[in-house]
Structure 1
Amino acid sequence: MTRFLLTLSLTALFAIASVARAEYRVETVAEGLEHPWSLAFLPDGRMLVTERPGRLRVIENGQLREAPVEGVPPVLDAQQSGLLEVLPAPDFAETGTLFLSYVHGDRRANHTRLARARFDGERLHDVQPIFTTMPAKSGAVHGGGRLLLLSDGTLLMSMGDGFFFREESQKLDSHIGTVVRINTDGSVPEDNPFVGRADVLPEIYSYGHRHIQALVYDPATQRIYSHEHGPRGGDELNVLQPGGNYGWPLVSEGRDYSRALITPFTRMPGMIDPLLVWTPSIAPAGMALYDGDLFPQWRGDLFVAALAEKTIRRVSMSEDGTPGEQEIMLADLGERMRDVRVGPDGALYVLTDEEDGRLLRIVPR
């Protein structure tokens, strides 16, 4: 099933405006974070932040705890690799269970790995890897690592194409360039789309991806949204479908970094078209679906953190899931935006991907 395609270029097909600062103000919650990557909220009000070099940090009572959490597994700390997502289990209040994604190995051979652990407030215990992508890849970029818990109790994890291995994204005997779906103990759900096929890795949920950097579930439409980096242009917003092929590298709106044509095709039968394409590239990172109460006018809209553009983009979404007007936020800060989340208080929280990164809080003025 193809999707309605909106292509954004310098001659925009729909309006892009800057959200007036009269509508909101920005507070700094914490600073001094080294390339923070992911943010999670705990039931007691504490927040967890991953730092790409391999540290898990705690923010409590509005203060960044000086000492990192002990017991984090070793990571490959290089370029885009390191400690990636932290995700509390739904029963965290009772069990202290966390999930961590990270890049494991070295530059010559590494994997994106998912581990389960127990957090007692000070350190991690019983750290157990439950899933490791195969095969190994070399290099330290495009490792994916975004996580999403679904309402049925299963877990999605994204895997990038490793940059140098784009052809793997069309192979079903490789996790490279896919989204995988597993149970929280690492086993394979019986209703995964390729279960029972001897020539396919059973964890694969969708494939043909370049580098997914966000996974978001919308309970109102029961859609799973993802976005992924294009090369020079061609960033995509997609709706994930089980068993779907999203085309990379056989179809793309982007060109290679040398400006060479990657493929002459932007659509192909049997491959799912994106909802939205950004050209030139904004380098989308985190994404959140706003469901809070502080900004009722934003409810149901998507917020996309952009690394290259150094902004947050609000993508207004209609009830049928069609993207509409986009608005640009935080362009005046000039910082790479890595993650955006909706807090329990209804505020937007943003991580800036800098050596001296910050956690920001957006609230009504």
Structure 2
Amino acid sequence: MAEDTSRKRMAHTARSGLLASLAVLIAAAPVFAADRFASQMVELEVSRITAGLDHPWSVEVMPDDAYIVSERPGRLRIIRGGKSGGPIKGLPELFVDGQGGLLDIALSNDFPSSRKLYFTASVPGEGGQGTALFEARLSADEKRLQEVRRLFIMNRLTGTTQHFGSRIAVAEDGSLFFGIGDRGEMDRAQDPKDHAGSILHLDQDGKPAAGNPFADGAKGLPEIWSIGHRNPQGIVIDPADGTLYTVEHGARGGDEINAPKAGGNYGWPVISYGKHYSGAEIGIGQSAKGYEQPIHYWDPSIAPGAIAIYRGPMFPEWEGNFLVAALKYQLLARMERDESNMITKEERLLSGEYGRIRDVKVAPDGSILLLTDEEDGALLRVSRAAAN
């Protein structure tokens, strides 16, 4: 009898201890209420996965549905179960000022087996700073980057602190597309022997990819894909047909969506749909022979931070739509397009609700991930709201 009573007390004590431990864990994990918003086709639910991020720039979904996030001041961390892990060690020396720092991240196509990833950053060097592309492997314990290797650095560094680019798109063959802005020195974007203001295309070893337009280097640098870009901060490959798209900042107006073709010149600063911040005209007008036209432009500017193409099961109504994150207007733009790839409709979502939206990605389950570019930045998940 005494032994049974003792066992009951021990069991009660164990249960009490377990409940106390669970209470501590629950209290430590962030708890956010979901918000509901109406849209033209479907009701949305927005939940905060985590907050407290310092100017997050890029997010990718890992194979186990955790998230890896870059923060511009120079930190890379993993978010799992709503909790942010500590900074991952092993990043190279970065230049962190103005628009510079740790920028985009992308997982290699074979990441589940190789644990290889890519990232872009502004780095210091002779003459100032500029955009560089790196590869690395994430350690098994997720605490360190290993085998960090710089694949590329732009050919002319300067002291300016803006227009570094620089999203990455990994093609099906493993080659890498990424953009670099004009570095605040606009005429550089028209020089095919200057990396500034261009889209680059490299193979997995950092060498010029096959099929680039200036392969022999005579008329342009062999790693350049296209020129005439002001500041491309969004780049994506449509998984349905392999078409490359960019979204880039204009000046005072003239933000653009482009579909860069090999050897194409996208006009900056010869043609533009915007004006200088002073109000002065840019270049020679909005079109001219030899310069490609955008698929779409905004005037006034929304300050686009990233672009995605919706291909997923959660929102079949949005299949094939562009999704564009906007910084200045603090919104997510959903762009419908027709069979000729022209934009037919724009819906502006979440306007002013969460602050500056820096990144947008479509998750494997079809939900949409957003990052807010704030000192107390958040990772948000947009999903289809359940019926009331």
TM-score by length of 2: 0.86
Taking only the aligned residue pairs, the percentage that are identical comes to 38
How far apart are residue 192 of structure 1 and its match? 1.1
Question: Do residues 87 (structure 1) and 112 (structure 2) align?
Answer: no
What is aligned with 2:263? 243
Which whole-Å CA distance do the structure 1 matches of 2:279 and 2:196 have between them? 24
Question: Do residues 320 (structure 1) and 320 (structure 2) align?
Answer: no
Which whole-Å CA distance do the structure 2 matches of 1:259 and 1:32 have between them? 38
Which whole-Å CA distance do the structure 1 matches of 2:49 and 2:285 have between them? 45
What is aligned with 2:252? 232
Alignment of 1:250-329 (within 5 A): 250-329=270-349
What is aligned with 1:336? 356
How far apart are residue 115 of structure 1 and its match? 0.7
Question: Do residues 362 (structure 1) and 382 (structure 2) align?
Answer: yes
Question: Do residues 161 (structure 1) and 182 (structure 2) align?
Answer: yes
Question: Do residues 48 (structure 1) and 68 (structure 2) align?
Answer: yes
Which whole-Å CA distance do the structure 2 matches of 1:216 and 1:237 have between them? 11
Following TM superposition, the consecutive aligned residue runs of length 4 or more in structure 1 with deviations greater than 2 angstroms are 18-22, 219-222
User: Which moves more between the two structures, 56-65 or 276-285?
Assistant: 56-65
Unaligned 5+ segments in structure 2 are 1-37
Q: What whole-Å deviation, never above 9, does each CA across 1:133-188 have from its counterpart, x for those lacking one?
A: 1111221100011100112221111000011x110111111001001100111112
How far apart are residue 296 of structure 1 and its match? 0.8
Report the 3-state secondary structure (helix = DSSP H, G, I; strand = E; otherwise coil) of the residue aligned with 2:287. Answer: coil
Q: What whole-Å deviation, never above 9, does each CA across 1:300-327 have from its counterpart, x for those lacking one?
A: 1011000011100000122332211100
Largest Rg, 1 or 2: 2
Which whole-Å CA distance do the structure 2 matches of 1:202 and 1:108 have between them? 23
Q: Which amino acid aligns with 2:298?
A: W
How far apart are residue 259 of structure 1 and its match? 0.8
User: Which moves more between the two structures, 215-224 or 123-132?
Assistant: 215-224
What is aligned with 2:116? 97
Which whole-Å CA distance do the structure 1 matches of 2:316 and 2:41 have between them? 16
Unaligned 5+ segments in structure 1 are 1-17
Which whole-Å CA distance do the structure 2 matches of 1:21 and 1:35 have between them? 31
CA contact (8 A) 2:126 2:157 kept: no
Which whole-Å CA distance do the structure 1 matches of 2:249 and 2:48 have between them? 28
Which whole-Å CA distance do the structure 1 matches of 2:354 and 2:113 have between them? 41
Which whole-Å CA distance do the structure 2 matches of 1:320 and 1:265 have between them? 25
Q: What whole-Å deviation, never above 9, does each CA across 1:213-250 have from its counterpart, x for those lacking one?
A: 11111133432111110000011111110110001000
Q: What whole-Å deviation, never above 9, does each CA across 1:62-106 have from its counterpart, x for those lacking one?
A: 3212x1111111211111100001111111111110101000017
Alignment of 1:107-118 (within 5 A): 109-118=128-137
Q: Which amino acid aligns with 1:52?
A: R
The counterpart of 1:123, out of the listed 131, 144, 155, is 144
Superposition RMSD on alpha carbons, in Å?
1.5
How far apart are residue 57 of structure 1 and its match? 1.1
Q: Which amino acid aligns with 1:212?
A: P
Question: Do residues 147 (structure 1) and 145 (structure 2) align?
Answer: no
Q: Which amino acid aligns with 2:95?
A: L
TM-score by length of 1: 0.92
What is aligned with 2:87? 68
Number of equivalences: 346
Greater helix share, 1 or 2? 2
Which whole-Å CA distance do the structure 2 matches of 1:360 and 1:41 have between them? 13
